[in-house]
Chain A
Amino acid sequence: MQRRDFLRSTALAAATAVVARRLGAALPEGLPAYATSPSATVTADGVRWDKAPCRFCGTGCHVRVGVKDGRVVAIQGDPEAEVNKGLLCMKGYHVGGILYGKDRLTTPQLRRNGRLEPITWEEAIEIMARRVMKNPAGFAIYGSGQWTIPEGYAAQKLMKAGLANNHIDPNARLCMASAVTAYLSVYGVDEPAGCYDDLDVADVVILWGNNPAEMHPVLWSRIIDRRTRGEKVMIIDLGTRRTRSTAYADHYLEFRPQSDLAIANGIAHLLLANGTWDRDFVSKHCNFRTDTSPVTLNGQASTFEAYRESLAPYTPERVAEISGVPTEKIRFLGELFGNPKLRITSLWCMGMNQHTRGTAVNRLVHGIHLLSGHWGRPGDAPTSLTGQPSACGTAREVGTLCHALPGGLLVANAEHRAECEELWNLPAGRINPKPGYHTMLLWEKFCTPTDKGGDIHTVFVQVTNPGQTLPDLHRTFNGKAGLEDKFLIVSDVYPTATTALADLVLPAAMWVEKNGIYGNSERRTQQWFKQVEPPGQARPDAWITLALARRLFEFGHPGMRDRDGKFLFQFRDAAGREVPAWDFAHYYDINTDRALYEEYRRFTYHKHKHVAPYDELVKSRGLRWPVVEQADGSYQETRFRFMEFSDPFVKKGAGIQFYHSVTKDNRALIWFCPYEPATEEPDKDYPFWLCTGRVIEHWHSGTMTMRIPQLRGSMPNAYVELHPEDARALGLANGDMATLETRRGRLDLPVWLDGRGQPPRGSVFVPFFDQNLLINNITLGDVCPISKEPDYKKCAVRVLRRTSATVVAT
């Protein structure tokens, strides 16, 4: 043995001994022995601290969870986490409280005569299995970007490998589908090339209809705290209303809703007109593309000349006319992008994604970064942020979408299907080649009577609340009431707008009540162990799926067998003995999360999305894929994709290589897509724009955060923001009740003037967290034709002073 090796192994032994000693004391009673996180410690007051990613947004902060006597008692920001470096936001600091709302669902319940009555888990699984067996093709799963990776993977396998049914789609369709279609059509493969490190070095950060001060607070402070340290970072807020983020911006460019398309084209126009586009970068790394009619994911090939010609009408004057942004500010943006010395990061989230031209505007922003060469250096990045903790990890990477297979593969691609059938050990031809129903279609088919073509008879909803978050709820969700042959199964942690219409309600274990893995916005896969027991009979969603699959197997569904006739889900312990994990008494005998994840990991190689081995995740605060094994056996994460200095898959000497390019020539695509008006713009009858969104206190539909006293105290109910002059004209003062009317319904809301957000004249804003004031009853359901993501940000509304004297719901 070499001296160096000897030193290393003794150090390793010593380290292991220290870790073991710490953990001997740290492992709480009742938790499985494998849940030995090396980060767990116990403080003198008997509190056990262990790591977990935060349960809320897509930022992916790590928290330290303090547990005493089997209950979470405190939370700390994890100083070892690269994402948040010890800091959290107000939601993160109170995340422990989400487990302890008094109305947690603790027992399975079946609706009988209009009322939910307790039943056993055995009965519940039996009922589910019988619904599926009735007509497997009419069964659908509506999942979530809050599914853990193993949960999503189990559901994906049950549907696509087992039932040969592609009707599985996640709520992420409502959230970042447009970002996905743009990454695919520009780079040929999904997810950002850059990461949060860009925010530490960018000279200019451009917010495209984005309010990270409230939606990604930790990333926001990561940017603005640089100023406290004396660094310079210019923030440009391109927005349709003033927000908390605007307060920190150097420039606020207020544009007319939908005209972001024109602004992006205007910037490209100026880069060409000023001759400041990056000829070298474009000639080496880019091809041109344009939309077809009707639009498609990959459009048609174009040329530089055609591109220049298409952009010719987008002069600063014309763009100013469309967008309302003054010409000099358009020119200013053009000059910024034309300056090769600056490092420019674009950030966006729902503003660009929830857009009837969502794919187009995403492509255009990638396009100006590519055209100007603001691509490929740290700080130069077009980066989409996600809203859910595992929208990337579970929805995008596991591919729990109606058209996708794990690892970025597609159901419509015969080679991809064959590859998955091989990995899953399925008989050839098992996977259904036809994409299933996307979210909007899925719910439409569910809410349409069977004899009128509504061919989805049962939906199983996991970890999400479509009864509050789908747009135009009267059409997309509420229609379920009264359809006797339709059956809604919901697994959740609290009663919601969705369980209100459910026929079968299943109590789920959440967050640190189970093992889990999430994937955040910067390709970081993050693991945690179960740390407390769930209440009552609540159980993990992955188990529910396994139990359903097993029951279907027992009922003789042929799809539940692989090509050797064995059950689809096989689990073995260290000694190689089979473990019946579908039986809850044995679910925790082995780490089923680890087994499912390691099975899934094999799918990630095809598109070079190599996720890290489970055991590496245990040791880290998450690792950014591709995570590649080194010669010495260690694993190296990748901060910047497609860039030689960081990405091991780039050919040596290439500098930048888009190795999954649509055109198969290692080039990214610069798209031209025209400005087109919104599908519903204000008019004489409905003269205001209605925009919806979130607030810092509440996370999405508020199911968790509205049960935390500190957060609810800060933001107890929804409101409508108006411009003070509009309010005056309508006779409305702060706190008065206004009535909002769209073509789809009406809603009464209290008015908030000069508050946190300030919309310009002619537009109003309403947050969607409040179950009692459901703004989605009146929002628009129109979608981006490519991504099928609905637009929640733009529709026409009429605002009136409320006449009746009823008190707002509490």
Chain B
Amino acid sequence: MKLVARKLAVLAALAAFTAGLSGYFMARLQVARSAEALRASQISDLKFEIPAASPDAAHAPLAPVYAALRSREHQPNHGWRSSLATLPPAPAFTPDTPPLSPAELAQLLGTREARRAYAGAPPTVPHPIDQVHSASCLACHGQPTRIGTRDVPQMSHAPYSQCIQCHAPSVGPGGGAFAPVSVTNSFAGLPPAARGTRAHPDAPPTIPHGTHLRQNCLSCHGPGGSSAIKTTHPHQTSCLQCHATDAARETHPPVLRTTS
């Protein structure tokens, strides 16, 4: 008798587990689907349809008590589940992409220079930051992303663990509201590199800057990047296959050792 009861119990547990498991995956699927639908609806044309009032009172959402409104789940965007990583990248450049107008180009380069003390300096961060965690930097900068109309550049180097070691926010804590920044300093940084050279008109241009900490060419020269020079062939990802670097700029010429 006891044995049968135990077997039954095991069976029941198994059944419950299976049901639970499938339920879990179904729920996951539903969440994923509904999130996808939500994204699609927002990205496509930002139109929302107001559902018709349901005659069935059981379907009406339960109104929260006022005290609960302060809690987390009633804050704006609490239900927002989409990952930044799945936002669409900026459109890729192709030979058909129209070149930037002089004004657009000037603006692009002006913004780029304003964020760098000199060519090769780690750019400053043009927005307030999470003061502690690098993971929040990677959420957006781990991949090329477009948020609204703003292109978010991907990091130009493999992720180190501590972004704020090198990248200073350009606005202080509290959005720089505590004190106006007035610094008179006549440091004049090295301007952005000129163009590389070409051996002949069809030759791939050489790279006129060092590639240390700039191993990811697409960060600047790809979609969403800040350089005026965009690749016309983003599907080719082995850039250094054709574009030669300048040994004088690359780290250091090898040291000649005199010991045998």
Measured between alpha carbons, how far is A41 from B173 in the docked complex, in Å?
A: 40
Measured between alpha carbons, how far is A88 from B166 in the docked complex, in Å?
A: 7
Asked whether B122 is an interface residue with its Cβ less than 8 Å from the other chain, the reply is yes
Contact B120 A717 (CB under 8 A): no
B125-151 CB mask vs A (1 if < 8 Å, else 0) is: 000000111000000000000000000
Asked whether A8 is an interface residue with its Cβ less than 8 Å from the other chain, the reply is yes
Asked whether A645 is an interface residue with its Cβ less than 8 Å from the other chain, the reply is no
Chain B residues near A750 (CB-CB < 8 A): 174, 178
Nearest chain B CB to A701 CB, angstrom units: 16
Contact B120 A97 (CB under 8 A): no
* Chain B residue at smallest Cβ distance from A69: B188
Asked whether B233 is an interface residue with its Cβ less than 8 Å from the other chain, the reply is no
B165-185 CB mask vs A (1 if < 8 Å, else 0) is: 111111111101111111111
Chain A residues near B174 (CB-CB < 8 A): 734-735, 750, 752
Contacts A42-B248, A43-B248, A244-B164: A76 and B210 contacting too (C-beta < 8 A)?
yes
* Chain A residue at smallest Cβ distance from B167: A90
Contact B118 A712 (CB under 8 A): no
Contact B131 A755 (CB under 8 A): yes
Measured between alpha carbons, how far is A103 from B186 in the docked complex, in Å?
A: 10
Chain B residues near A735 (CB-CB < 8 A): 174, 177-178
Number of A-B contacts (CB under 8 A): 201
Within 8 A of B (CB), among A218-275: 218, 220-221, 224-225, 227-228, 244, 247-248
Stretch at the interface among A391-399, A674-682, A703-711: A703-711
* Chain A residue at smallest Cβ distance from B172: A716
Asked whether B217 is an interface residue with its Cβ less than 8 Å from the other chain, the reply is no
Nearest chain A CB to B245 CB, angstrom units: 12
Chain B residues near A247 (CB-CB < 8 A): 132-133
Contact A100 B186 (CB under 8 A): yes
Nearest chain A CB to B160 CB, angstrom units: 6
Contact A15 B256 (CB under 8 A): yes
Classify chain A: how many residues form its interface, as a range. 35 or more
Contacts A8-B260, A79-B251, A735-B178: A74 and B170 contacting too (C-beta < 8 A)?
no
Chain A residues near B176 (CB-CB < 8 A): 713, 716
Measured between alpha carbons, how far is A616 from B131 in the docked complex, in Å?
A: 42
Contact B252 A39 (CB under 8 A): yes
Contacts A12-B258, A76-B212, A717-B179: A89 and B165 contacting too (C-beta < 8 A)?
yes
Asked whether B187 is an interface residue with its Cβ less than 8 Å from the other chain, the reply is yes
Contacts A96-B187, A734-B174: A80 and B255 contacting too (C-beta < 8 A)?
yes
Asked whether B159 is an interface residue with its Cβ less than 8 Å from the other chain, the reply is yes
* Chain B residue at smallest Cβ distance from A221: B162
Measured between alpha carbons, how far is A790 from B2 in the docked complex, in Å?
A: 76
Contact B159 A228 (CB under 8 A): yes
Contact B160 A218 (CB under 8 A): no
Contact B121 A94 (CB under 8 A): yes
A sample of 9 inter-chain contacts (CB < 8 A) reads A73-B188, A77-B212, A80-B252, A99-B187, A102-B186, A708-B187, A709-B181, A752-B173, A752-B174
Q: Using a CB–CB distance below 8 Å, which chain B residues touch chain A? A: 117-122, 124, 131-133, 158-162, 164-174, 176-190, 193-194, 210, 212-213, 246, 248-249, 251-253, 255-260
The 4 A-B pairs of least Cβ separation, nearest first, read A102-B184, A756-B131, A15-B256, A714-B168
Q: Using a CB–CB distance below 8 Å, which chain A residues touch chain B? A: 4, 7-8, 11-12, 14-15, 18-19, 22, 39, 41-45, 47, 66, 68, 71-80, 86-90, 93-94, 96-97, 99-103, 213, 217-218, 220-221, 224-225, 227-228, 244, 247-248, 632, 634, 696-697, 706-717, 719, 734-735, 750, 752, 755-756, 808, 810
